Structure 1
């Protein structure tokens, strides 16, 4: 590849923008193609949580890389709300996993601590601790506005000479001796490499290149909770889900007198069509959410459900993102997609790994991340 390759990044969500940023920082010429507007897909519908309270060492490592970048961007003006993140444990086995997570995080320079059941109300005075053994708490975790994040990164990409072309849909592609000629809704363009960061549309993008990408656009819903009066404290992000076990309920502070809750177990028997799905919260989901909230935080002052919306989680069969080439014989076509509900918090490190694949031919900057490549063993149907 040339010293200053021209890379086309398809998709202007968080993964696409982080990839574009990492590429321009390393001297590549970058054009981002976005079929709609910046952050118009899953990114703009996310609740924007960034947390490191997980139990898998590799998943924590990925977030160490991401959080380093978030700190940098925060210093450059990106707003980040450090409300903390509390993951709930229902069993002693989960508490044991949490204790190991604390060790891994502290060793990596992150703040995290175990919280026993009788201490939960010190963090969330309204929580009902019945049935809980405790939790894992990271005081520095929090949330950001993904739309703001994408536009913040777009400003840096443009300042570094990158181009972002909105309302430019990818229509076709032709392989050339040294890369690709891509056809867009506004003309043709030559590229030395292409990154597919199309989110829920990534399988459609892959198909234009004759590739099969197994990503399942899974429906998820979020709802605003209005309170009669502001709480006397800032509600951290509270998550009742550990490695697939738990109710899936999660909620967090949004602003005084307002929380946001998300339902992680929306019933979806078929992949959603990203071009034609119901982007409003279904009434049954609100009923289910109300029941879970009454169980876990029964005494919120005058809590009532407000507007809701739905978005899509692009998920893979093993629920880890695809970052790398699908076909080793075609290294200039790199996928960066399928991060599910963790796309916002993993975007900085996914962008870093994707740029490595494009410019170095391997993920040299993140140890162990070769396992994220969409190999034949991983790129399989989810259902």
Structure 2
């Protein structure tokens, strides 16, 4: 039955393309529909960090699954910059959590180690350790170019005979026995199953099917930091946030003489309109970012802020992705969205879970992934939570 199943995937970001690839590898026929161009949404505006330095065992397990895929794709030509990932700790309690993370990651085959406060400068010479207890460091973590990743995945999808239609917006939905008819601004698409991987637009896609999907498009900004001269070491990804505690400041090497920084923590009073939001970095945000950088990197050589941009994090009420059918009575309509700022690093495993839901009716290949299903308890408004 799988070989004859035709699945329409809505969205050509990392989640949609990873889902399409997993479906094709299991014998399904796949058509990807993208309203704009490949990686034109949140994926293309990401800073592309891939890290496993978390304290929750389930979050770590998901990234273990993703890293297996990234290693495979790296062998096929995807460029992955292994600069390392350092998550900072401000309290002894956070260091205890980090110690447990080292054990969990080690048991799963991932490298990580504790860094004490007096060792931080050995790893990042320009880092001020004031107010810090230490950190958790993963030397094999790093970053990739999300636009390149999407186009890499698109090439493989096409090689496996998957169809990708750019500038093909879904305008309406018709249900037929055993499947759907998707009306678009081009030819209609007849399919047996649908995966909604629309990112910040996923709630609007859900509405076309008569469903309610609660994802909050949260605006985040990133800025390039130019240096007078290249550092004599490679700056790892540095994150000041542990389970919601910390400034949210993060920064990393981008290329010689330049870093990229953002604040992974915002207080949004309303969701953004993905079709009409300010995609440029606001001046006040640059000022706030500069203040945080001066506190944590006080002696960077000739550091100055360059161009900035904004993108959207598709955020859920509990800050975990929604993967699975919203309505159990309609298992052929699967959601794969809401990964927030972790869409790039979770895309491989989310694509695997979404494909499982479509082809097997349950997330059979990823232990515990049923907890990501968009149940009535989880699929709620962020403000209610």
Structure 1-normalised TM-score? 0.99
Q: Distance in 2 between matches of 1:313 and 1:13?
A: 13
User: Could you tell which deviates more after superposition, 52-61 or 261-270?
Assistant: 261-270
Contact 1:12/1:33 (8 A) holds in 2: yes
Contact 2:2/2:27 (8 A) holds in 1: no
Partner of 1:18: 18
Partner of 2:153: 153
Partner of 1:68: 68
Contact 2:2/2:28 (8 A) holds in 1: no
Q: Distance in 1 between matches of 2:96 and 2:334?
A: 38
Contact 1:32/1:164 (8 A) holds in 2: yes
Partner of 2:208: 208
Gapped regions of structure 2 (runs ≥ 5):
none
SS of the residue corresponding to residue 175 of structure 1 reads strand
Partner of 1:128: 128
Partner of 2:308: 308
1:102 paired to 2:102: yes
For residues 164-183 of structure 1, the aligned pairs below 5 Å read 164-183=164-183
SS of the residue corresponding to residue 194 of structure 1 reads strand
Deviation at 1:345, TM superposition (A): 0.1
TM-aligned CA distance change 1:2 to 1:94, over 3 Å: closer
SS of the residue corresponding to residue 135 of structure 1 reads strand
For residues 1-383 of structure 1, the aligned pairs below 5 Å read 3-383=3-383
Contact 2:193/2:333 (8 A) holds in 1: yes
Deviation at 1:381, TM superposition (A): 0.4
Contact 1:253/1:259 (8 A) holds in 2: yes
TM-aligned CA distance change 1:105 to 1:127, over 3 Å: same
SS of the residue corresponding to residue 80 of structure 1 reads coil
SS of the residue corresponding to residue 231 of structure 1 reads coil
Residues 225-281 of structure 1, C-alpha deviations (whole Å, 9 max, x = no match): 000000000000000000000000000000000000011233421000000000000
Deviation at 1:188, TM superposition (A): 1.0
Q: Distance in 2 between matches of 1:21 and 1:298?
A: 45
Q: How many residues align?
A: 383
Deviation at 1:289, TM superposition (A): 0.4
Q: Distance in 2 between matches of 1:238 and 1:228?
A: 21
Q: Distance in 2 between matches of 1:230 and 1:194?
A: 48
4+ residue runs of structure 1 moved beyond 6 angstroms?
A: none
Q: Distance in 2 between matches of 1:107 and 1:267?
A: 36
Contact 1:266/1:285 (8 A) holds in 2: no
Q: Distance in 2 between matches of 1:120 and 1:185?
A: 54
Q: Distance in 2 between matches of 1:309 and 1:183?
A: 33
SS of the residue corresponding to residue 187 of structure 1 reads coil
SS of the residue corresponding to residue 352 of structure 2 reads helix
Residues 211-237 of structure 1, C-alpha deviations (whole Å, 9 max, x = no match): 000000000000000000000000000
Contact 1:221/1:266 (8 A) holds in 2: no
Contact 1:323/1:337 (8 A) holds in 2: yes
Contact 1:325/1:333 (8 A) holds in 2: yes
Contact 2:9/2:32 (8 A) holds in 1: yes
Contact 1:10/1:16 (8 A) holds in 2: yes
Contact 1:356/1:365 (8 A) holds in 2: yes
Contact 1:263/1:285 (8 A) holds in 2: no
Q: Distance in 2 between matches of 1:261 and 1:189?
A: 41
Contact 1:7/1:30 (8 A) holds in 2: yes
Q: Distance in 2 between matches of 1:235 and 1:194?
A: 42
SS of the residue corresponding to residue 380 of structure 2 reads coil
Q: Distance in 2 between matches of 1:366 and 1:282?
A: 40
